[in-house]
Amino acid sequence: MRVFRSLDSLPDDARGAVVAIGNFDGLHLGHQKVLDCARQIARDLSAPLAILTFEPHPRMMFRAGEPPFRLTSGDDRMMAAADLEIDLFFEAEFNRDFAAMSAEEFIARILVEGLGARHVVVGWDFCFGKGRAGNVDLLSTIGAKSGFGVTAVQAVTHDNGVVYSSTAIRQALRDGRPQDAAHLLGRPWEIAGPVITGDQRGRTIGFPTANIPLGLHLRPKFGVYAVQLGLVADGDDGKVDRWIDGVANIGIRPSFGGDQDAGLEVHLFDFDQDIYGRIVRVRLHGFIRAEQKFNGLEALKAQIARDAVAAKEILGNI
């Protein structure tokens, strides 16, 4: 997958693609239906398949100050796109100038002049341009005049009637239902980031942990999870060398006084390599219990041992 973070002066072989447009936070199964449609059109037209997305997420500008909400960081989303065998990944910088573009300007400057789009695929409720004034009807009308086709994909629902949406996935994670989130995503939800140096308290009680900052990721329900940690190989595509089973705590660690910001700590089973500084991907497979405060280290150690047994049982069934 080729990645472009500027749409200026694209090479000829990066133009003329079938372009799926959206924020694609999570790249869930609803998004994948849009991409499946775009992929079939790309095959029919013998054209490359591309994603056009925006960074940072527009909500971070228009609703600044809200708690972290993202299912995927920009890098996470790019890794997920690489897994879906996208040819071209266009990431436009979403700033105030971009937000001020009218719908007509967006079509002319981004889709026609920038990308030379051959066909555009969007969700049925896609809106764009200043004040969200553009919609699928406008896109189709101008597209017909500008030489590109437009396809709008209808909403897709799970077999229980729930619409595949980032909102539904966020709620599942906030409720401590990672399996439900995975059903909507089409894969386990992940947190990716570097392994940083923590206070190393885990080592003193026999349960060393890898500490990963949550950054802009949504804060799921605080507590203990069965997880797998993937060591990301060198390179930009986020491919994993190896997945390692473990048990993780997400929260503020009330037994140690409580941190102002939540963190992710992963204890890995049967693994003792130094991975400080490595980029990792942590998949949440099952919620074990809510975070709690313990009266003393012995009680905490005993509970972690029980959590590890529960995590191994969950992971043995995936």
Digit-coded pLDDT (tens) for 21-37: 999 999 999 999 999 99
Q: Please provide the average confidence, as pLDDT, over all residues in the chain.
A: 91
Whole-structure pTM value: 0.85
| pLDDT surpasses 70 at 166 | yes
The answer to whether residue 6 scores a pLDDT higher than 60 is yes
pLDDT of residue 158: 72
Tell me what pLDDT residue 94 has: 94
Q: Can you say how many angstroms the Cα of residue 8 is from the centroid of all Cα atoms in its chain?
A: 26
The size of the chain, in residues, is 318
Q: Tell me the pLDDT band of 83, cut-offs 50, 70 and 90.
A: confident
Characterize the bridge pairing of strands 88-93 and 49-55: parallel
pLDDT at 48: 97
What the chain holds in terms of domains, given with CATH numbers, is: 2-153 (3.40.50.620), 189-315 (2.40.30.30)
Q: Which two tokens stand for residue 40?
A: 């079939």
Q: Which residues of 80-111 are buried (b: 16+ CB within 10 A; e: fewer)?
A: bbbebebbbbbbbebeeebeebebeebbeebb
